[in-house]
Amino acid sequence: MKYLFTYPEKCTGCRQCSIACALKKLGECNPKKGAINVLRDEFDRYELQFVCLQCEEPECVAVCMVKAITRGDDGIVRIDPEKCIGCRMCVIACPYGAITSFGGDIIKCDLCDGDPVCIKFCSTDALVYEEENEEILDRRKELAKLLLKKE
Amino acid sequence: MISFPAKLKVGTYYIPHCLKFTTDTQEVDSMLKRKLGIIDLSKEKISIQDVSESLRKKLLGGRGMNMYYLWKMLPEGIDPLSPENLLIFGTGFLSGTLAPSSSRFNTSAISPETGFLGDTNCGGFFSAEMKYAGFDRLILKGKAKKPSYIYIEDGTIEIRDAKGYWGLNTLDVQKAFRKDLGQVEMVVCGVAGENLVRYACLRTGIKNAGGRTGMGCIMGSKNIKGVVAHGGMGIEIAHPEEMLKTVEELKDYLLSSKISPILGSVGTPLLYEVSNVLGGIRTKNSQLNAWNDNFNASEVEKFVEKMISCSSCFMHCRHRNTLGGEGPEYTALSLLGTNLGIEKLEDCIKMQNQVNDLGLDVSSTGTYLAWVTELYERGLIDDKLTGGIELKFNDYETYSKLIDMISRREGFGDILAEGQWSAGKLKDPKHDYLIEVKGLPQSDPHDVRYMKAFALGIATSSRGADHLRSRPTLEIFFKLPPEVRNKIYGAEIANDPATLDTKEHVVAWSENIFATIDCLGMCKFICHGFNSPHFVDYDWMKRLINTAVDWNYSDSEIREVGPRVLDIERLFNLSRGMTRAHDTLPKRYFDDPAPLRTAKGHHVDRKEFAKALDRFYEVRGWTNEGMVKKPRIEELEAIA
């Protein structure tokens, strides 16, 4: 299965991923309503993306009292807006701060059903949509380069 | 705390002093519904207004709309530092949307540095946040009774006490606002603005500056420390799928250009080497026109920790440097480097970090320091005036000390804080040694004696010696086929950079398209003709507008915006006493031939220049005296 992987060291903080997400899902440009969020602070000098990791055993599913959140056969964790009562338990429970609560809306990434719009607007590959094994292989290759250079 | 409820209701409000209003719902509406907030600081009266769609169609937003309000609302004959002056913050039309590099806003007033048009364009994240807070323009008038700041959030405006914030530098005050108010975006002045240094700038973030024409000084004169924005009001887009498709296509187009990866890895310093080879780098107050290779982009790169972006930008040209700040840009490399005869890049970066923190304009500060250094060397000023400070080029310690003194108006710094107005005291009453036009020190590092289109551009720019009104960078692209050049500029252009012939077309064309992109709030970095013969042209602009709103905006409509802005700016300046004589160049560019490299021997001939000015006025449709013609004035006055 393909997942979204983030590379904060490459993130420039432009927020186009968040704006594109809100535009696609809600028809408005609003980075605060993106299912992917970029926290940036130029004074503390960081840019960091937050997005649902589609956990195997999601905490959000476990805490949802009305069973509005389910993990589908395709591995994507989705919220059913018809069932959601907006209690924000999932927001609290998510260990990665990856669910957005904004103005009464609970916003969570559903990978656009396999065609995530956000990645199309990243100019530095700080956000990639890849098979997990490919991603691990890429990281290992990077690590190998570093190790070999050191020796 | 004074606060009032005005959640996007149009009307005029006297502020009830004990009322605190909060909102917990966020609304969504089109960018056309964003409000104009007029804040009378003296009377503590706030008016929230709608803006007519017909006016938006004529001037879009950003710089253009600012010019309209400045021209219509500012009384003639006032002192820039008086409460009657206005301070207008205007977001670009597309700011806050997915449109690439749409992070920019303009801040405008009558300038305390020049006495003419004051206007500055700035990136970062403030512009988008101001839009999300429900406003696309704020007009400040009068003067607050005590140090204050403006807080805007989801359609509300408050004038708040700045106790605890006043007296802080630009970084500390922004950190304090973030600590106290959460993830806000803000534009502030530093101590230089509080102390009314005439070229104090506005700052948002670490390095993004509304640098030119002293807008930080106006903020200080109004007892305002900053404008702080927080908002969650999304911008409803008329055709979301179209916008997604158009921007994706535009992103691929922008990033396929050869120049994009270079801009994205080294930023503006890439221009240094190109200009230096030609002999186009202002050095030691333009006594020289080239300097060493220590400031090449490859050297600057050694200090880069990470490249970062402004809001909605694919180019990521900002460096986070390893010395605790951001930058330097090309401008700082020269104005706080070569122009001061600085040998070590590290000294230049440290100085620009300091200037940024204090809230001074890099270009003006560097130009004035170089000016007084030459005056000192020539014996026109002495130790008595400088308070015992010995001025010499490449003296980082002294310059750093002086920069601090300027921001606090201490000793000799108090004289320097007056900028060009101190010329009498410095025994250079006619500015023979000051590199300025219309009272504004030249902004960019470019020594214009060789590249004549650059010379005509800074001479005629509406805010004084400034490259961002018309910089015809394509003049440096020597390998650009003539037919491509002619097609872009819409006229037969002489292929020789050293001639003024035909360059009126180059300058006027550049002015028009740059003014248009300023109205949209997009960065010139992706503007057709600025860094590349490709990039965002009128067709792209039109397409982006038509995805955002249901206007069916036409080709002729988008092309009419720029000239309209330029003519309004001209009218504003003419009403402040500007004449043809102000469209000129620093004496040195006329009289002293450049001494080094390709540019050697080149200067601007006064007679040729006068002829070029005639032709330029003709292209602009102005009279031979540079006046806007009557039918055109009537046409502009009818805009509403």
Q: What CATH number was assigned to the domain covering residues B448-637? A: 1.10.599.10
Query: What whole-number distance in Å separates Cα of residue B181 and Cα of residue B151?
Result: 10
Q: Is B311 within 8 Å of A15 when comparing Cβ atoms?
A: yes
Comparing alpha-carbon positions, the chain B residue that sits nearest to A19 is: B98
Query: What whole-number distance in Å separates Cα of residue A125 and Cα of residue B559?
Result: 36
Q: Is B244 within 8 Å of A9 when comparing Cβ atoms?
A: no
Any idea how long chain A is?
151
b/e map A86-120, b = 16+ CB within 10 Å: eeebbbeebeeebbbebbeebbbbbbbeeebbbbb
Q: pLDDT band at B13, cuts 50/70/90?
A: low
Please tell me the distance in Å from B346's CA to the nearest CA on chain A. Answer: 20
The verdict on A92 touching B (C-beta cutoff 8 Å) is: no
The verdict on B264 touching A (C-beta cutoff 8 Å) is: yes
- Whether B2 has a pLDDT exceeding 50, the answer reads no
What is the percent of chain B with per-residue pLDDT over 90, rounded to a whole number? 94
Q: Is B312 within 8 Å of A26 when comparing Cβ atoms?
A: no
Chain pair A-B, CB pairs under 8 angstroms: 104
Digit-coded pLDDT (tens) for B231-269: 999 999 999 999 999 999 999 999 999 999 999 998 999
Digit-coded pLDDT (tens) for B483-530: 999 999 999 999 999 999 999 999 999 999 999 999 999 999 999 999
The verdict on A117 touching B (C-beta cutoff 8 Å) is: yes
- A137-141, B58-62, B340-344: the lowest-pLDDT one: A137-141
Residues β-bridged to residue B572: none
Please give the order of strands across the beta sheet that includes B208-210. Answer: B156-161, B148-153, B224-230, B185-189, B202-204, B208-210
Angle at B618 between CA B615 and CA B624, to 5 degrees: 90
Q: pLDDT band at B209, cuts 50/70/90?
A: very high
Q: Is A42 within 8 Å of B24 when comparing Cβ atoms?
A: no
| E strand spans, B258-392 | 304-308, 318-321
Query: What whole-number distance in Å separates Cα of residue B283 and Cα of residue B19?
Result: 57
Handedness of CA A114, A115, A118, A124 (dihedral sign): positive
Q: pLDDT band at B26, cuts 50/70/90?
A: low
**Can you state the angle between helices B362-377 and B396-408, rounded to 10 degrees?**
120
Instruction: Specify whether the CB–CB gap between B416 and B402 falls below 8 A.
Output: yes
| More confident site: B7 or B279 | B279
Instruction: Specify whether the CB–CB gap between B199 and B113 falls below 8 A.
Output: yes
Instruction: Specify whether the CB–CB gap between B228 and B152 falls below 8 A.
Output: yes
Of A12, A29, A121, the CB nearest to B235: A29
Q: Please report residues of A whose CB lies closer than 8 A to that of B26.
A: 102-103
Domain boundaries, chain B: 11-236, 265-437, 448-637
Please tell me the distance in Å from B400's CA to the nearest CA on chain A. Answer: 23
Query: What whole-number distance in Å separates Cα of residue B125 and Cα of residue B143?
Result: 26
Query: What whole-number distance in Å separates Cα of residue B40 and Cα of residue B51?
Result: 18
Q: Is B235 within 8 Å of A15 when comparing Cβ atoms?
A: no
Q: pLDDT band at A104, cuts 50/70/90?
A: confident
Q: What is the CA radius of gyration of chain A?
A: 16
Residue range B200-227: mean pLDDT, rounded: 98
The verdict on B247 touching A (C-beta cutoff 8 Å) is: yes
Residue range B345-369: mean pLDDT, rounded: 97
The verdict on B245 touching A (C-beta cutoff 8 Å) is: no
Handedness of CA B571, B612, B606, B474 (dihedral sign): positive
Handedness of CA B76, B78, B80, B82 (dihedral sign): negative
What is the percent of chain B with per-residue pLDDT over 70, rounded to a whole number? 96
The tokens describing B627, both together, are: 């006046």
Among B284, B273, B272, B285, CA closest to B332: B272
Please tell me the distance in Å from A57's CA to the nearest CA on chain B. Answer: 32
The tokens describing B563, both together, are: 């000239």
The tokens describing A100, both together, are: 């957005």
Instruction: Specify whether the CB–CB gap between B573 and B261 falls below 8 A.
Output: no
Q: Is A23 within 8 Å of B313 when comparing Cβ atoms?
A: no
Which one-letter amino acid corresponds to residue B412?
A: F
Q: Is A27 within 8 Å of B236 when comparing Cβ atoms?
A: yes
- A97-111, B1-15, B522-536, B620-634: the lowest-pLDDT one: B1-15
Q: pLDDT band at B15, cuts 50/70/90?
A: low
The verdict on B547 touching A (C-beta cutoff 8 Å) is: no
pLDDT of residue A139: 86
Residues whose CB is less than 8 angstroms from the CB of residue B302 and which lie 6 or more positions away in sequence, other chains included: none
- Whether B5 has a pLDDT exceeding 60, the answer reads no
Comparing alpha-carbon positions, the chain A residue that sits nearest to B23 is: A103
Digit-coded pLDDT (tens) for B420-457: 999 999 999 999 999 999 999 999 999 999 999 999 99
Residues β-bridged to residue B532: B528
Among B389, B427, B425, B434, CA closest to B287: B434
The verdict on A9 touching B (C-beta cutoff 8 Å) is: yes
CA B550 remoteness from chain centre? 30
Q: Is A14 within 8 Å of B313 when comparing Cβ atoms?
A: yes
A 31-90 residues inside an 8 A Cβ radius of B: 31-33, 41-43, 45, 47
- Across chain B, mean pLDDT equals 95
Which of these CATH numbers, 3.40.50.800, 3.30.70.20, 3.60.21.10, 3.40.50.300, describes A2-51+109-150?
A: 3.30.70.20
Residue range B135-146: mean pLDDT, rounded: 98
Residues whose CB is less than 8 angstroms from the CB of residue B215 and which lie 6 or more positions away in sequence, other chains included: B87, B107, B108, B109, B111, B118, B120, B200, B201, B202
Please tell me the distance in Å from B333's CA to the nearest CA on chain A. Answer: 22
Digit-coded pLDDT (tens) for B96-127: 999 999 999 999 999 999 999 999 999 999 99
Q: pLDDT band at A103, cuts 50/70/90?
A: confident
Q: How far apart are the first and last CA of chain B?
A: 36
Of B96, B244, B264, the CB nearest to A24: B244
Q: Is B311 within 8 Å of A33 when comparing Cβ atoms?
A: no
Q: Please report residues of A whose CB lies closer than 8 A to that of B205.
A: 42
Digit-coded pLDDT (tens) for A51-77: 999 999 999 999 999 999 999 999 999
Q: How far apart are the first and last CA of chain A?
A: 35
Residues whose CB is less than 8 angstroms from the CB of residue B180 and which lie 6 or more positions away in sequence, other chains included: none
Q: What is the CA radius of gyration of chain B?
A: 23
Query: What whole-number distance in Å separates Cα of residue B242 and Cα of residue B151?
Result: 34
Instruction: Specify whether the CB–CB gap between B205 and B357 falls below 8 A.
Output: no
Please tell me the distance in Å from A56's CA to the nearest CA on chain B. Answer: 31
Question: Fold identical between B265-437 and B448-637?
Answer: no
Among B102, B551, B132, B548, CA closest to A27: B548
Predicted model pTM: 0.96
What CATH architecture is B11-236? 4-Layer Sandwich (3.60)
Coil, helix or strand for B461? coil
C-alpha separations of B582 from B47, B586, B612, B623 in Å? 37, 11, 15, 15
Q: Please report residues of A whose CB lies closer than 8 A to that of B187.
A: none
Digit-coded pLDDT (tens) for B375-413: 999 999 999 999 999 999 999 999 999 999 999 999 999
Q: pLDDT band at B20, cuts 50/70/90?
A: very low
Q: What CATH number was assigned to the domain covering residues B265-437? A: 1.10.569.10
- Whether B24 has a pLDDT exceeding 70, the answer reads no
C-alpha separations of A142 from A15, A145, A148 in Å? 26, 5, 10
Of A9, A16, A103, the CB nearest to B232: A103
